[in-house]
Structure 1
């Protein structure tokens, strides 16, 4: 809990830099979106891997609004509010002693829609005589799951459900994470690669308390 509180304070401090400084110019709004190569990581996932599960990425989406303001000549503060889809797919062959079959493919697909608020400090690297401006960034994010579910497939049958204590595992109501940004800015058009990882667990469950989201995002944006 102390770690979560510290991370939340850091996120709020980053926001306060942009809100309270009297020297910052107006915020430049924009849009950003693209692919989210989503998965889970952590000790629980490693245990599943050791047990014979195959943990697969899912190619999902990310779409949001951005606000960028300049702090110094080469440093920006960028905030974002986005709908980001997270999840993972777990596969395993279950062994059975049966006359008709020996093993049964078993798949669990996880879907989690999250409202995400990442805040990053961006270091711009101007190139001489070039309109292309590479940048690096890093920061923290806060995420709130707004819709979620799981799907199980086995023996040609499908079953769907939500994350609850009775059925699978309840989701955390609030997740803190961090991100690293690497991108190019060209005449207000952004092309960005972003790595994200959760610092607090996805599930609020004592048996699944070491599962974190782990995403690679390929994004394109435009600042107005």
Structure 2
């Protein structure tokens, strides 16, 4: 995957550099986003429970509110190229189906979207690939999954990076732009196996796989600083 990430960043750099031979603009971008996990439900046995019957945890407990802030550079033609670097705070809600208890988790990523788009008058559409690099977390996911493990979890359940895609519609008025975008991972942002034993006279050791990508609906406002 390191080769893919290197190629991705080289393409992004080449696209931005080629834009300087034409006309480019750059500026700041910030906004809010609603994010959740996308993946199969998790199944496990609480380490403190006397029951060996696994319970299910839904990873679709709802969206959480976060934010994003960063900058962009883009060419100014009708068909344009755009690169961005955004620090994004994301999250998700996990719901134990046995008692409907919910846990909110939060993490941060550096999102690097690369877009090709088309603009006409004030309006535009765009889309393309994205690289998300893990920056930080609030430990709640690790603490939650630790409830189902007999040994302490010694490493983060989040992956260091993941590829995804994004598509957007927007409008621009003078120096200010408004953009509505959907982003999603095609690789998981979390990936962890947790072992548990089944109930019965012949208990067996099984693995439960917590593997989730993310989906995000993002509303941002941009401000052009230079052209």
Q: TM-score, normalised by structure 1?
A: 0.74
Q: CA deviation at 1:66?
A: 1.2
CA distance in 2, matches of 1:51, 1:209: 11
- Structure 2, gaps ≥5 residues long: 45-54, 147-151, 194-207
Match in the other structure for 1:101: none
Match among 159, 174, 190 for residue 172 of structure 1: 159
CA distance in 2, matches of 1:106, 1:166: 22
Match in the other structure for 2:175: 188
Report the more deviating stretch, 77-86 or 199-208: 199-208
1:172-221 Cα shifts (integer Å, max 9, x gaps) = 11111110011001112111100000111111435546410100001111
Match in the other structure for 1:215: 216
Q: CA deviation at 1:169?
A: 5.2
Q: CA deviation at 1:90?
A: 1.4
1:11-54 Cα shifts (integer Å, max 9, x gaps) = 632431231467322x3221111111011112x24889x94635
Match in the other structure for 1:29: 26
Match in the other structure for 1:85: 89
CA distance 1:161–1:123, shift in 2 (3 Å): same
Match in the other structure for 1:112: 107
Kept in 1: contact 2:192–2:211 (CA 8 A)? no
Name the count of aligned residue pairs: 195
User: Partner of 1:23: helix, strand, or coil?
Assistant: coil
Q: CA deviation at 1:93?
A: 4.9
CA distance in 2, matches of 1:107, 1:62: 24
User: Partner of 1:19: helix, strand, or coil?
Assistant: helix
CA distance in 1, matches of 2:165, 2:210: 18
Match in the other structure for 1:151: 140
- Structure 1, gaps ≥5 residues long: 95-103, 127-132, 153-158
Calculate the aligned-residue CA RMSD, in Å.
Answer: 3.1
Kept in 1: contact 2:65–2:91 (CA 8 A)? no
Kept in 2: contact 1:39–1:56 (CA 8 A)? yes
CA distance in 2, matches of 1:46, 1:166: 16
Q: CA deviation at 1:168?
A: 7.9
CA distance in 2, matches of 1:193, 1:22: 27
Match in the other structure for 1:60: 66
User: Partner of 1:56: helix, strand, or coil?
Assistant: coil
- In the TM superposition, 1:12-51 aligns within 5 A as 12-20=10-18, 23-25=21-23, 27-42=24-39, 44-45=40-41, 51=56
CA distance 1:16–1:118, shift in 2 (3 Å): same
